[in-house]
Amino acid sequence: MKVGIAGCAGRMGMMLVRQVAAAPNCTLVSAVERPNSPTLGQDAGKVANIDPLGVSISDDASFLFKVADVVIDFTTPTATANFAKLAAEARAAYIVGTTGLDKPTQAILSQAARFTVVIQAPNMSVGVNLMFSLVERTARHLGEAFDIEIMEIHHRQKVDCPSGTALALGRAAATGRGVDFETHSRKSIDRSIEQRSSGEIGFAVLRGGDIVGDHTVIFAGSNERIEITHRAHSREIFALGAMKAAEWSLNKPPGLYSMNDVLGL
């Protein structure tokens, strides 16, 4: 499998370079960074703290999509909007880990999926994807007698908030309850001084240190509560999930897929 990595010098990108280098059936064929990145021209392996791989980091995203069977992208929403168009043109499979995508970018991804395989997941870990289905099921069974609050904590550099995973957990809860997520969700910051309304799905966000990512969904009823928690100990779980998605993408028909499809959940 010829793999290309977008954002190869980022936290996730470096981990993916190491995963690709270690996988017996994979070759890194291109590694891309943002224009003006100090890593341009350097060996992608060296930047990821492993032996050189003979692949110089470039900012040529068109080349990336032309030479790879599959491109894995953990970058920024602006970069992802551009990559999606290139994936469609080159018919390269495209694995999108970037979070915080707005509606227009989401529409560009759906459009690209008419021409190539696009696998998008706000969280690529097996455990979190199982958690989505547990949350949906719990919300379906408990109904509105139980208030739903979603709490997440991440490292201090994270920019989107609530996290893409927290929002996906909220959507899973809304699906289980049979309500519209957009009209029933509420960030805690909006809550100011008034009481919690019944039926709302609330969010609480914490940031600090180097925490990889913790998510808890609380179903709080009278006299009892259920909490479903996932704690990521290492970013490796996301990289492993992205690699699984890359392998799964080969020879699939064009379409927009999720980790549920990849994992058969």
Catalytic residues, which ones?
Answer: 154, 158
Which residue's entry shows tokens 């990145």? 37
Q: Of 6 and 174, which has the nearer Cβ to ligand NAD?
A: 6
Asked if residue 132 binds ligand NAD (CB under 6 A), the reply is: no
Joined tokens for residue 82 = 């551009």
Asked if residue 131 binds ligand NAD (CB under 6 A), the reply is: no
Q: Closest-CB residue for ligand NAD?
A: 10
Rounded-to-integer distance, Cα 82 and Cα 192, Å: 38
Q: Of 72 and 146, which has the nearer Cβ to ligand NAD?
A: 72
Joined tokens for residue 251 = 């020879």
* Number of chain residues interacting with ligand NAD (CB under 6 A): 25
Asked if residue 13 binds ligand NAD (CB under 6 A), the reply is: yes
Instruction: Tell me whether strands 2-6 and 117-120 are parallel, antiparallel or unpaired.
Output: unpaired
- With CB under 6 A as the contact rule, the residue among 11, 46, 191, 207 that binds ligand NAD is 11
- With CB under 6 A as the contact rule, the residue among 5, 9, 48, 81 that binds ligand NAD is 9
The 3-class secondary structure across 2-62, one letter per residue, is: EEEEECCCCHHHHHHHHHHHHCCCCEEEEEECCCCCCCCCCEHHHHCCCCCCCCEEECCHH
Q: Closest Cα partner for 34 from 57, 11, 15?
A: 57
Rounded to a whole number of angstroms, the minimum distance from the CB of residue 224 to ligand NAD is: 32
Q: How many CB atoms lie within 10 A of CB 222?
A: 7
- With CB under 6 A as the contact rule, the residue among 238, 248, 249, 262 that binds ligand NAD is 238
- With CB under 6 A as the contact rule, the residue among 124, 150, 167, 243 that binds ligand NAD is 124
Asked if residue 10 binds ligand NAD (CB under 6 A), the reply is: yes
Q: 68-107: which residues touch ligand NAD (CB under 6 A)? A: 74-76, 79, 97-100
Q: Of 102 and 144, which has the nearer Cβ to ligand NAD?
A: 102
Q: Of 7 and 176, which has the nearer Cβ to ligand NAD?
A: 7
Rounded-to-integer distance, Cα 204 and Cα 224, Å: 20
111 beta partners = none
Proportion of the chain in helix, strand, coil states, percent, rounded to 5: 40, 25, 35
Under 8 Å between Cβ of 105 and 77: yes
Rounded-to-integer distance, Cα 80 and Cα 67, Å: 18
Binding segment for ligand NAD among 27-35, 49-57, 102-110, 168-176 (CB under 6 A)?
27-35
* DSSP type of residue 56: B
Rounded to a whole number of angstroms, the minimum distance from the CB of residue 148 to ligand NAD is: 23
Q: Of 35 and 199, which has the nearer Cβ to ligand NAD?
A: 35
Question: Which residues bind to ligand NAD, rule: CB under 6 A?
Answer: 6-7, 9-13, 32-34, 37, 74-76, 79, 97-100, 121-124, 160, 238
